[in-house]
Chains A and B, each alone.
Chain A
Amino acid sequence: MDARAARTILSVVRASMRIAGVERPTEVAFSFAGQELRAPVGESLAAALIVAGVRRLGEGPGSPRAAFCMMGTCQQCLLRVDGRLAQACITPVRAGMVVTEA
C-alpha cells in the first residue's frame, strides 16, 4: 500500500473518532509540530489532537506527557500555541494556529 492510500484510510478511521450526530462548525486548518491538521473550529485542541492520532505531547521528567484530565488541572497537556504556553484541553482550535511542543 503506498503512503497516500495509507493516509486516506487513516483519515477515514480518524474521522470516526468524532461521534456522529453532533453538529460541528466548519473545519479549519492548524499545525502541530509542523504537520498540517484540521479540526472544527472551537473543538478543544486536546480533543483535536486525539482525533488526529497525536497522543504524546512532550516529555516530562519521568514519563511522556499526554492529556490526562481534560479539565485543566493536571497540566500534562501543556503545549505552545502561537508562541505561548497553553493547556491543550482548554484551548479551542482556531484557524491557522501554530502548535508546537512546550
Chain B
Amino acid sequence: MTHPYDVAVLGAGPAGMAAATEAARRGAKVVLLEESPAPGGQVYRAAPPGFVVPPDADRRAGDALRAALAASGAELRLGHRVWGLGGGPLVRQGEAPVPFRIDALPPDGEPVTLEARALVLCAGTHERIIPFPGWTLPGVIGLAAATILLKAQGVLPGRRVVVAGAGPLLYAVAAKLLKAGSEVAAIADLATRGEWARAMPALLARPDLLARGLAWRAALATNGVPVLQAHAVIAAEGVGAVERVRVQPISGGAAESFDCDALCIGHGLVPATEATRVFRAAHRYARESGGWVPVLDADRRVSVPLLYVAGDGGGVRGAAAAPAAGRLAALAALRDLGVLDGRAHARARRRPALEQWRAAQAGQAMARMMALRPALVDAIAPETVVCRCEGVTRAEIETALDDGATEMNQLKQFTRCGMGPCQGRLCGEAAAELVARRVGGRERAGFATGRLPLRPVPMEAVLGEFDYADIPVPAPAPL
C-alpha cells in the first residue's frame, strides 16, 4: 500500500471532477476513482474512445471540467469500480479513527486498496422506478438510461417510443429522439400544468436551461407529438417485448393506448447513499431532494469526520449545482486537514457557496417535480413484481407486512425483497413506500443497513492467484 492520499474522491461526475480539481490545484495529493473509462458522470458522460459525437452544451460543459481536471495534477483512476470502503470511524471501540480505505477493481487485473485521510463521496444518483404491469418487459428502459444510450452511445432505444414519467428529462429525451430520427408516440408527464407553472420562478434564475427547455417543447409541438400532462403509464403490453403502452389521466378517466417498440420511463432520481450508510453517517429523509440523504453542513461535511458528500448524492440539485458543491467539499476537506487556515478557507468558499446556492434554486424546483409520487405506489397491482432480482410481488410484500415486518431490513428478511444483485436500488423506493404506509412514514420505515460490496464483485477478481498455505485461516474454534 502506498502512502495515504490527502483526499480521495469517489466518482468523476461534475461534483467529483470539480472536487478533485480544487483540492489538487491547492497542492493536496488527490486521487479520483471512477468506474467509467472516462470522467464525466451521468450528464457529461463521455462517448466511448474512438466515438465522435457532435458537441452540444452538455459536451462543452463536460469538456471544460475535464480539461481543468487534467491540468490539476489529481491522479485519475478510471475504470476503477469501488466496491469496498473502510477505515475512518470503522475501527474498534476506543481506537482513534484511521485513514479511509478504498478497495477498487481496475478494468483488468489485481484489486487495489488505497488510503486517504479525507474522502469526498460524489457517487451521484440512480433512477427511481415505481412498478406497473409490464414494467419488466424487454423494451422498457429507464428515462435516465435513455439519455445514456442517446448521448453517450448514439443509439436509439426504439424507433417508435413512448416517453413517460416525471421531470425535465422527459422533454430532453423526447427532443433528442426526434432529432435523431425516432418517432415519439407520446409523452406522458406525471406533472400537471400547475406544477410546471409553479416551477417557473425558480427556473427564471437559469435562463439558459429555461430556453433549452422551451426549445425542446417547441420541437415537440412542431412534430405533433402528443404531450399528455398529468398522465401516468398504467401498463406496458406485448408478447416478449413491449408493443404498446396504456396511459391514463392521474385523476382517472379513459385510458389511451399507444403502439411503440420502446418505453423510456423514470419517476425521478434517488441519491446514492450506499457509501454514507456504510460509514453509519446520520441521514434524514428529504422527499423533495430525492429520498434519504446524508445530513450535511453548509460545506458538505457529513456527520463523520473527514467525510464529505458533493453533487446529487447529497440530494438532487442537478448538474449545474454539482461543481460548486464539489469545490466546497474539497475546500472543507483542506480546511479540516489543516492545509487551509480559517481565513483562507472563508475567502475561498465564498464564490462556490454563492454559485451553489444560485444553481440549487433551479435544481430544487426540478427535484421537487421528480420527487416520489405516492399515488403511483398506491396503484401498484398485487401481482406486479416489485423486486425484480428476487421476483417479489406487491402481494408478497403486503403479506410480510401483515406478518409483522415494520422496517426495511425486516421486510428484506421476511421476503428477500432487496437481497438480490441490485441490492435494492431498483425496488427500494417502492418497497419503502409500501412499508411507510403501514408504519407511518419513511422515517420509520428506515433504510437497508449499508453493507459491502457497493457493487457485486466477481469472486475471481477478489480471489486472485493463491496457495492454500497463504490463506490466513484463524485458530480453530474450541472442540
What is the interface of chain A, defined by CB distance below 8 A to chain B?
Answer: 13, 16-25, 40-44, 47, 50-51, 55-57, 60-64, 66-76, 78, 84-85, 90, 92
Contact = CB atoms under 8 A, between A and B. Distances in A.
Contacts of A13: 159
Given A18-B154, A90-B35, A66 B139 contact: yes
Given A19-B156, A70-B145, A63 B52 contact: no
B137 A17 contact: no
Nearest to A14: B159
A73 B347 CA distance: 39
Given A22-B52, A44-B48, A60-B136, 7 more contacts: A22-B154, A43-B153, A55-B241, A62-B393, A64-B138, A69-B127, A75-B456
A57 to B, nearest CB: 8
Contact of A19 (B50, B181, B240, B456): B181
Contacts of B144: 69-71
B420 interface: yes
B291 interface: no
B425 interface: yes
B339 interface: no
Contacts of A75: 389, 420-422, 456
B391 A56 contact: no
B421 A23 contact: no
A9 B246 CA distance: 30
Nearest to B50: A25
Contacts, number: 142
A16 B391 contact: no
Interface in B119-166: 126-127, 129, 136-142, 144-146, 148-150, 153-157, 159
Contact of B385 (A43, A47, A63): A63
A41 B180 contact: no
Contacts of A25: 50-51
Given A71-B145, A74-B425, A75-B421, A17 B385 contact: no
Main secondary structure of the interface of A (DSSP, over half): loop
Contact of B142 (A23, A41, A68): A68
A41 B159 contact: no
B362 to A, nearest CB: 24
10 contacts: A19-B156, A23-B51, A24-B51, A44-B48, A55-B139, A64-B240, A66-B139, A68-B142, A69-B126, A72-B455
Nearest to B157: A50
B267 to A, nearest CB: 13
Interface string B276-305: 000000000000000000000000000000
Contacts of B94: none
Going nearest first, the 10 A-B pairs with the smallest beta carbon separation are: A62-B391, A61-B391, A55-B138, A63-B136, A22-B154, A66-B138, A25-B50, A23-B52, A70-B145, A42-B48
B155 A40 contact: no
A91 to B, nearest CB: 10
A44 to B, nearest CB: 6
Contacts of A21: 54
Contacts of B49: 42
A69 B455 CA distance: 14
Contacts of B455: 72-73
A62 B422 contact: no
B344 to A, nearest CB: 38
B461 to A, nearest CB: 10
A67 B49 CA distance: 22
Contacts of A16: 156, 159, 181
Nearest to B390: A61
A13 B158 CA distance: 11
A15 to B, nearest CB: 11
A61 B415 CA distance: 13
B54 A74 contact: no
Contacts of A20: 180-181
Contacts of B393: 62
Contacts of A84: 458, 460
A39 B224 CA distance: 33
A61 B445 CA distance: 26
Interface string B35-61: 111000010000111111110000000
Nearest to A85: B458
A62 B385 contact: yes
